[in-house]
Structure formats: structure tokens, C-alpha cells
Amino acid sequence: MRGNRRLRQVVEPGQAFAYEACLESAKKDSKLSKASFASFEESKVAGSTGEEESRVNVPYELDGKKHLFQCIAQKQADGSFKAVF
């Protein structure tokens, strides 16, 4: 399999929840209501301060131009995530 290696994204617990929280926040922005957002797999989620916060970068397209929505999702006491920036 030399030269034919597939890189797998390591998914930490909660990353999908952090993505969903940021996606929900982005969709609430009236300027982005017509944007087409990338899937979780096409986005980048990285731990910011341990397991409490995650930096989320969600690519999106609006009016034929590519952009990047950046967000910080904070883990709540109940295990859910909330976009805080």
C-alpha cells in the first residue's frame, strides 16, 4: 500500500457537537442565510483549551465566493456545546 495511504481524521468525542453548535450559530447570522456550508468532514475542529473549548473552522460558499466561518464552541455542564465566539 505504499503511496496509497489514506489519512484519517481523528475525531475526538464532542467534535461533531462543537461543529453543530458553530453551524447553528452561523446559520443564525442573517448575512449568511443563503450560504452553503461544508460538512463536518470537510471542516476542521481542534481542541483549544483541553476538552472545554474547541476551535471550529467551517468553509462556506456565498455568492460564488469561498469563505471561512470561525468559531469557538464551549462545552456546557450538560455535555452540549455552545458557540461563544
pLDDT at residue 47, rounded to an integer: 82
pLDDT in tens, 13-63: 689 999 999 999 999 999 999 999 999 999 999 986 666 899 999 999 999
Do 11 and 17 touch, CB atoms closer than 8 A?
no
Which residue in the block uniquely carries the three cell numbers 443564525?
28
pLDDT band, residue 70 (cuts 50/70/90): very high
Pairwise CA distance, residues 12 & 85, whole Å? 21
